[in-house]
A and B are shown apart, each in its own frame.
Chain A
Amino acid sequence: MSIARAERLPARPWAARFVKPEALTGYGLISPAVFLMLVLLAYPFVLAVSISLTDRVLGEPGKFVWLENFLKLLQDSLFRQTVWNSFVYTLSTVFLKMVLGIVLALLLNQEMPYRNLVRGALLLPWIVPTSLSVLTWLWMFDSLFSVVNYILLGLGLISKKIPWLGDPFWAMVSVVIVNTWRGLPFFAVSFLAGLMTIPRELYEAAETDGARAPRQFWHITLPLLQPVIAVVVLFSTIWTFADFQIVYILTHGGPINATQIFATMAYDVALVAGRIGEGSAISLFLFPALLVVIILLLRYLRRE
């Protein structure tokens, strides 16, 4: 009935498209989400750009300085180290999560007793509040009481204690381990979902043709899993690049900035030291990475 009424409207064609009942319902339904995105996402983003172009400090509005913050940062050795650390952190954890995630998904895809219980247990690191589980890792890496060292020494795998969080190299290793621990379940479950869509007949056909397990993996599993791998890796790349809490709680960027990454440095500069303009500029360096990921994802999903 309402459709018939809309057709009788003597409006101009393009305007009629917007006032059709279906369109009006649509706009009504999306309006809360749109409002939220505009006020609490788009506006803060514009604000971030405008603050980053000023020398604002806590309590003072500051004045317009064009791109000075960005140019200063690019020459700052601490910031350069932060860029380097962020890349090391992101590339190594995403690589580890990808490889281990494929292995774990292949294991979980097999028949076994208590399969659901095992799957559930393996998801736990991803469910539990990261800040609280990372506290446990902080305690496990304690310089004096480290249980990780206790176990490794007991098994005879190392001969003296590893200074997990006290040494620049080992501190990076620590945050990489913890990030991998936390993110692996997401990778494994997503890959598992991908594996379950691969038709069994393909493997049966390969079997009759005499292809062994390794060849089946390279020629069937991996190519068919590739779309899921690409999407998961891209998602994880941007989230790891912008990660905050693991580093903040475990090392606070230290020792001597060996694990300082974008978000922790932005937090220190803007909210601890109070140089809000400069801190905003550091945060905005995440934007190009986000843009690249978005473009790649959209191109990828469109092709699928």
Chain B
Amino acid sequence: MSRKRFRIVRRIFGLYLPLAAFLFFALFPFYWMLISSFKGNPELYNLQANRLWITHPTLEQFQELFARTAVLQWLWNSFFVSFLTSMISMTFGIMAGYALARLRFPGAQAFGLATFVTYLVPTTLIFIPLASVVQALGLSNSIWSLVVTYPTFLVPFCTWMLIAYFKSIPRDMEECAMIDGCGRIGAMVRIVLPMAIPGVVFSGMFSFTLSWNEFVYALTFISTTTHKTMSVAVPTELIRGDAYFWGELMAASLVGSVPVALLYSFFMDYFVSGLTAGALKG
């Protein structure tokens, strides 16, 4: 009996309490974002009220946001750029990943190394000259500047992720297909790709999230309000001088966070397994 009590106490102090502390730390900002966006201004700036709860929930902040700002345009820009770049990066990543996992050719190792190194290069190392490259391509201040530049960090990521997946698929299957008259590319598309779906989905979704969240390039290359993406538009367009409209800012942050959070909750199993697989292989 006392042994059982000891185990319960140990579980509370050794697991549930510390875990609750971590959960509070991780989730409180989202709770704060949520309740701030459903409060009206009088309640939001009332220091006497219970600030951790809402007494008069209202949609005022969202109405303001959608009526006064180009938030729908920003959302569309984010979606357009993220969708296109993740598709491009996935395609290039599948091609390069397959080549590195299966084919033998001089320079393959050097290319693998280059991919790995590129994956590590921080965007802040080259954003200044990249702005001139974007200008030379005639793309400055257009969302196409992002479509062109995001694959530079997404393709290495996808390639690296997919090499591991392709390597885990047995060679026999595609060799059979090739004997049966499939070409190399045919075997890759018809046999290997379907078996690597979890890896492909994961790298595509993760690329989407990375594009949606990217900040430095979008801040540097684009200055026109209607061409901005969500992650840059909210902190730059909704803060005017020293005036912070917190209700509206939190509503916009919520609107910008929900798409990736939703995407992530639908595919959470892929996400966690993909992430752990990546960590193991990385």
Bound together: yes
Q: Which residues of A contact B106 (CB under 8 A)?
A: 17-18, 23
Interface status of A181 (Cβ within 8 A of chain B):
yes
**Given A131-B213, A193-B279: A48 in contact with B256 (beta carbons within 8 A):** no
Interface size in chain B (residues, C-beta < 8 A): 93
CB distance from B211 to the nearest CB of A (A): 10
Interface status of A190 (Cβ within 8 A of chain B):
yes
Among A73-81, A165-173, A204-212, A276-284, the stretch that binds chain B is: A276-284
Interface status of B9 (Cβ within 8 A of chain A):
no
Judge whether A294 and B260 touch: CB under 8 Å. no
Which secondary structure dominates chain A's binding surface?
Answer: helix
Chain B contacts to A: CB under 8 angstroms: 15, 18-19, 22-23, 25-27, 29-30, 32-33, 36, 45, 47, 51-52, 91-93, 95-96, 98-100, 103-106, 108, 111, 113-118, 120-133, 148-149, 151-152, 155-156, 159, 184-185, 209, 212-213, 215-216, 220, 230-232, 234-235, 244, 246, 249-250, 252-253, 256-257, 260-261, 264-265, 268-269, 271-272, 275-277, 279-280, 282
Judge whether A150 and B51 touch: CB under 8 Å. yes
Judge whether A20 and B105 touch: CB under 8 Å. yes
A293 to B257, CA, bound (A): 32
Judge whether A40 and B149 touch: CB under 8 Å. yes
Show 20 residue pairs from A and B whose CB-CB distance is below 8 angstroms, ordered by the A residue: A22-B105, A25-B99, A26-B99, A29-B98, A30-B99, A33-B96, A40-B152, A41-B152, A100-B22, A116-B268, A132-B257, A133-B253, A135-B250, A136-B253, A139-B32, A139-B249, A151-B52, A194-B279, A241-B122, A283-B125
Judge whether B128 and A128 touch: CB under 8 Å. no
Judge whether A120 and B213 touch: CB under 8 Å. no
Q: Return the 5 tightest CB-CB contacts between A and B, nearest first.
A: A242-B122, A193-B276, A23-B105, A47-B129, A263-B124
A290 to B32, CA, bound (A): 36
Residue ID in chain B nearest A297 by CB atoms: B120
A161-215 contacts to B, CB under 8 A, are: 181, 184-185, 189-190, 192-194, 196-197
CB distance from B103 to the nearest CB of A (A): 4
A249 to B275, CA, bound (A): 28
Judge whether B32 and A283 touch: CB under 8 Å. no
Judge whether A125 and B124 touch: CB under 8 Å. no
Interface status of A232 (Cβ within 8 A of chain B):
yes
Q: Which residues of B contact A130 (CB under 8 A)?
A: 213, 215, 231
Which of A17, A120, A131, A270 has most chain B Cβ within 10 Å?
A131
Judge whether A189 and B275 touch: CB under 8 Å. yes
Judge whether A193 and B275 touch: CB under 8 Å. yes
A21-48 vs B, Cβ < 8 Å mask (1 yes, 0 no) = 1110111011011101101110111011
**Given A29-B98, A129-B230, A193-B275: A135 in contact with B105 (beta carbons within 8 A):** no
Q: Which residues of B contact A140 (CB under 8 A)?
A: 29, 32
Judge whether A132 and B47 touch: CB under 8 Å. no
A233-254 vs B, Cβ < 8 Å mask (1 yes, 0 no) = 0010011011111001100000
Judge whether B124 and A36 touch: CB under 8 Å. no
Judge whether A29 and B125 touch: CB under 8 Å. no
Judge whether B25 and A29 touch: CB under 8 Å. no
Which residue in A21, A41, A137, A297 is a CB contact (below 8 Å) of B121?
A41
**Given A22-B105, A127-B261: A133 in contact with B121 (beta carbons within 8 A):** no
A129 to B253, CA, bound (A): 9
Q: Which residues of A contact B265 (CB under 8 A)?
A: 120
Which residue in A129, A137, A185, A262 is a CB contact (below 8 Å) of B26?
A185
